[in-house]
Each structure stands twice: as C-alpha cells, then as structure tokens.
Amino acid sequence: MKNATMKDAPAKRRTSEMRAEYDFSAGVRGKYTGRMQEMAAFGSRWLDQRIEAINICMGAGFAEAALTLLYSGIDTLAFLGAPAGAKDVKQDDFVKWCDRYIVPLLSSTAAGADLYGARCGVLHTSSAASRMGRQGDAREVWYHFKDRAGVNLMANTPRPALMLEIEALVDAFGKGSRQFVADLEGDPVRRANAQERAGQFFSWGILASGRGSMMTR
C-alpha cells in the first residue's frame, strides 16, 4: 500500500483498507461462521471481536498493540481449554495451547515456552525481557514487522534470541483459534467446560436501574 494513498485517503476508508489487508479472520467468518454462531455460549463473539481488533491494529501499524491483544487472547483460549476443575489459566495451559495450535503453523523454531516468555515480556513490561529469558528457560522473541525490527538492545540472556514475523504469528493465531473452536465442538466434555468458563466473560450492556440490573445487547 503506497504512502501517498494512506495520506490522501479519508480516515474511514483508510481503516477499511487496512483492515482488509490483514483480514486473516476470513477463514473464521467463512467456512466456520455457522459453527461459531452455534457455539456463541462460550465466546465465539468474543473471538470475533478479538480477531477484528488485531486486524485493525495490524493495519494501522500498531505492532505492539496487536501483540498485546494476541498474547492475552491466547491466555483466554488456553483458559477455555484448560483441564476440568481449573479456576485460572496457568503457564502450562498457555504453553500446551501454543504447542498444539500455534507452533505447528510457524516456520520457526519457536516453542510454546518461548511464546510464554514473550507473552510475559509484552504484557508486563512492553518488551522482550522476561524471567524465563533471563534464566534460560526460554529464548527472547524479537519481531519483524514490515520494514522494521523490534529488538532488545540490552539483552543479556543465556540463549540467543529468535526473530518472528508478526504477520506470521497473527496468521497462526487466526488459524489456530479456528481449529481450537472446531476441536471443542467435537468434544462435548471440553465444550461444556469452556461454556462454563466463558460465563465469566464481561457482559456489556446498559445499566437499567440499581446494581446488577442490565439490559444487554
């Protein structure tokens, strides 16, 4: 997309164009739309919104914001898929989810543990640094986005960092989350667990009168 086009186009049209450029969610809204609508009880609408938000950030060039939404999104999906009885999402849940749904889709040597360390860095300190990286339990993840690289100039870790293309990571999240939804659909027990946990999601609506009285949309 040429810079001149981006500068001259009206803001509303720019948003539409940028959103289309990174619309990796097409597969989710296409072949699997019917399935996801049937499974709305455990958060398919939440997933649609998260994917849309990542698309918008990517199109606008907000790489770190997209990563924040992506890693926190994995947290949520890993919680939905955690073993029965789980009350919170744990590191092991995140790592296993990534190893199953993200890592196989990446042309990289990244492992679920590396992505968990990356998640901690991005969500906690807006950086690549994490305790796992410092201790050698994970490699720092640096990023490439368009013509720029995001690195840690102060890195001093036991293991070398690895570079990930943000577009590839975002694409893997879109495809992996689609497969996760399909897997839940085919497993009544896991689906029931996910439905129960999704009941904790925020309910957005208009407060009618008094605490707890809400008109949802």
Phi, psi (degrees; rounded to nearest 5) at 13:
-70, -35
Helices (H), 102-187: 112-125, 131-135, 166-185
Please report the pLDDT score of residue 21 as a whole number.
47
Residues (pLDDT < 50) of the chain are: 1-22, 24-42
Q: What is the pTM of this model?
A: 0.78
Residue 41 pLDDT: 47
The pLDDT of residue 196 is 87
> What does the pLDDT look like over 155-196, one tens digit per residue?
999 999 999 999 999 999 999 999 999 999 999 999 999 988
| Distance (Å) of CA 162 to CA 101, 143, 184 | 19, 8, 32
Neighbours of 177 (CB within 10 A): 24
Q: What is the pLDDT of residue 28?
A: 43
* Residues 91/115, Cβ–Cβ less than 8 Å: no
9, 61, 79, 132, 152 from 75: Cα distances, Å: 36, 23, 6, 17, 24
Within 10 angstroms of residue 3's Cβ, the number of other Cβ atoms is 7
Cite the beta strand spans of the chain per DSSP E.
141-145, 148-150, 162-165, 205-207, 214-216
- Provide the CB-side half-sphere exposure for 45 (13 A, CA): 11
At residue 201, the pLDDT reads 87
- What pLDDT, on a 0 to 100 scale, did the predictor assign at position 210? 58
Task: Please check whether residue 80 is in contact with residue 104, taking contact to mean a CB–CB distance below 8 angstroms.
Answer: no
Q: Are 96 and 115 in contact (CB under 8 A)?
A: no
Q: Calculate ∠ Cα 41-178-189, nearest 5°.
A: 50
Largest CA distance in the chain: 57
What is the pLDDT at residue 18?
42
